[in-house]
Structure 1
C-alpha cells in the first residue's frame, strides 16, 4: 500500500501548549528518501530534531515522505513554518509542478530553507531549487548545471572546465576556514576549526549566486580537487533566506560540535534574519576535533568506528598458480 505520514514532535515545558507554540520558531524537517542507503535519513532526523529543540528556540515537526507514498495527498502547508529543513534527496519527478510552485512561492514570500549534505543532490532540473542551493552534485549534473565553484584569491571563482558534478574522498576529519566572519551564522566563530570525520563534497556545480561562509581544502591525497571548496553558504530567493551546509553524511558527522552549532544558528537565521545563540566554549579549534558523544552514540555504526566504506580498499587476491598434473 502506498503511504506517507506526518510525525509531530513538539517538546513542552512549563508553558501551556498555545503559549509555547506562539513563542517558538516553527520548523519542519522533511525526510523520507535518499539516492542511496548510506545516507540514513531515518537515523539522522531524530538527532537533528534534538539539536534544534535543546536550544529552547524551536518547535519541530517531522514530515516523512517515502518514494512509494501517495504523492497525490502531498500538499504541505509551507506557510505554517518559519524554516523548512531538507534532510531529503529525491529526483525531479518526485514532486508535482504544483508542489514545486507552492514551495517557490513560500520562499519568495519570505520562507526559510536549510539543506543538509545530500539534499543539494536533489531535483537536478528544478531551476528554482538550484538557484536556492547555488550548487549541487550527482544525479546526472554536468557542466550544463553550471560551473564548478571554488574559493580562490579571497573570492568565489567559476571553474568552467567540463565534467560531472559531485565528488568526495574518504570520510576523514578536515579543517574549515571562515570566509565571511561578519555574517550572523559565523560571527564569533574561530577563523579555522576542525570538523569530525565526514564526506567533504567537492566538484559541486550550479548557478552560484550564493555567499560562501566557510570553505575546506579538498586534498588531492584524499581524492580531492586541490581547491578550497564551499562548505557553508547562504543565499536569497525572493524574500526567502537559505542556509546550505554540505556537511552531515551521517549521525557521527552531525554530532561534531561545529555541525551542531552552525546548524542551530543556520536555522535561526533563515527563520528570523538574526542569531541570538552564543558560541559554546566546546567549539572545536584549528587543531582539535570536538564532538558530542551523546549524539554520536545514536549512530547505528557507532560501536564499529568509521563507516566500513571508508576503510582501506580490499586487496585483490593474488592469482593462484595452475596445479601441475
Structure 2
C-alpha cells in the first residue's frame, strides 16, 4: 500500500506512463494479496462454543478447547457465553447457521432453573435437524433433562434410574440394554487412567490402535437416554467402581445432522490445563471429531505421539493458550 501511495504522488508530479503501469501492477498485486488473505481465513471451518454455566470450570474448558482446535489450523472458533442476568439471557440468540459445528459446554445439573431461552433451544434443534454438527462436551450430557429434543440429540446422558435406556458393553463386545427402572442411575467412580477400547470403526477413530490409554478421566456407568439412532464408538472398563464396560464415545443422527457425545474432557475447578487435556489422544480426538461433524470426513492425521494401550502420552504443559 505504501508503494501505491508513493507512485500516486510521483504520477501527479511526472504524469509518466511508466508510473501508471507500475501503479496498476501494484494495485492489482495489493488486491490479489488481500483476496488471498480473505480466502485463507474463510477456508477455516467456523465453530461456536456455547458456555456460561456449569458445575465444571467452563471458562477454562472453553479456552483450552478453542486453543486445541485453532492450533490445528483447521478452525476459527468463537465463544458465545449465556448472560448471567435473566433479562439479558432472554434476548441471547446465537446465529447457529453461521457455524459448521456448535460445541455445547453448559450444564445445569445442580440448578435446573438455568436454561437456554426457548427460542435458542428451538434454534439449536432446527440447526442440527437441517444438517448442523453438535459436539456435546463432557458434562454437557448432564444438562437439560427437561428438553425433549436435547435428550434425543445427545442419545445418552446423566439421568436417573427411572429415565431412558442404559447401555453396557458385555465382555464379548455386545451391547446390553437396561430399560427404565432397571440397573442404576448414571454415575461414575474415581478418575483414573482408562483404557479406551474401540467398539466400532468410524472416520473419527480410523487409524487409532484398537485400545489406547487416556489419563485422569471419568467413565460414566449406566449412561441413560433415548438411545435412538446411536452408534457407540468406544468403551472402557469402570475399574474403580462397577468393574463393568460402559460407552465412552457415541454418535447420534438427528435429522440431517450429526452429534458426538463423550464423557472425555473433564476439567474441574482448581485444575489448570490438567493431564486429561494434555493427553495427545484426547487432543487428536477433539480435532478429528470437530472435522467430522463439520464435513462428514476426517483428514486430520493421527500423530506419532498418539497413546498406546500400554502407555499414555501427555503433551508439554506449557500454557500456550493463556
Q: Would you call these one fold, judging by a TM-score over 0.5?
A: yes
Does structure 2 retain, via aligned residues, the 8 Å contact 1:135–1:205? Answer: yes
User: What's the CA shift for 1:15?
Assistant: 7.6
What residue number does 1:169 align with?
Answer: 189
Q: Tell me the equivalent position of 1:47.
A: 64
1:151 matched to 2:156? The reply is: no
TM (normalized to structure 2)? 0.80
Q: 2:161·2:186 contact (CA, 8 Å) conserved in 1? A: no
Q: CA offset at residue 31 of structure 1? A: 1.1
Aligned to 1:63: 80
Question: Does 1:103 pair with 2:103?
Answer: no
Give the Cα separation in 1 of the matches to 2:113 and 2:97.
22
Q: How many equivalent pairs are there?
A: 277
CA distance in structure 1 between the partners assigned to 2:297 and 2:113 by the alignment: 32
1:64-83 matches, within 5 Å, as 64-68=81-85, 70-83=88-101
C-alpha contact 1:149 1:205 (8 A) present in aligned 2: yes
Aligned to 1:245: 262
Task: Tell me if the contact between 1:92 and 1:123 (Cα under 8 Å) persists in the aligned partners.
Answer: no
Larger CA deviation: 67-76 vs 158-167: 158-167
Q: TM-score, normalised by structure 1?
A: 0.80
Question: 265, 281, 285: which is aligned to 1:258?
Answer: 281
The residue that corresponds to 1:305 in the other structure is none
Q: Higher mean Cα deviation, 65-74 or 198-207?
A: 65-74
Shift of 1:157: 2.0
Show CA shifts across 1:70-113 (max 9, x none).
21221111100000011221347512222211111101100000
Contact kept in structure 1, 2:235 and 2:247, CA below 8 Å: yes
Q: Secondary structure at the match of 1:144?
A: coil
- Residue 228 of structure 1 aligns with which residue? 245
Cα distance between partner residues in 1 of 2:117 and 2:84: 13
Mind listing any 5+ residue stretches in structure 1 that lack a counterpart? 1-13, 301-325
Whether contact under 8 Å (1:147, 1:205) holds in the other structure is yes
Which residue of 2 is the match for residue 314 of structure 1?
A: none
Distance in 2, matches of 1:216 and 1:299, equals 30
Say which SS state the counterpart of residue 187 (structure 2) adopts: coil
Alignment match, 2:203: 184
Relative to structure 1, is the Cα distance of residues 175 and 16 closer, same or farther in structure 2, using a 3 angstrom cutoff?
A: same
Kept in 2: contact 1:200–1:218 (CA 8 A): yes
Q: Distance in 1 between matches of 2:114 and 2:79?
A: 22
Query: What residue ranges of structure 2 are gaps of 5+ in the alignment?
Result: 1-33, 268-272
**2:238 touches 2:244 (CA, 8 Å); kept in 1?**
yes
Across the aligned residues of Structure 1 and Structure 2, the Cα RMSD in angstroms comes to 2.2
Are the aligned partners of 1:104 and 1:128 in contact in 2 as well (CA < 8 Å)?
Answer: yes
Which structure: greater helix fraction?
Answer: 2
Q: Is the 8 A contact 1:212 1:234 kept in 2?
A: yes
Q: Is the 8 A contact 2:69 2:75 kept in 1?
A: yes
For the residues of structure 1 that align with 2:82 and 2:116, how far apart are their CA atoms?
11
List 4+ stretches of structure 1 deviating above 6 A: none
> Is 1:135 aligned with 2:156?
yes
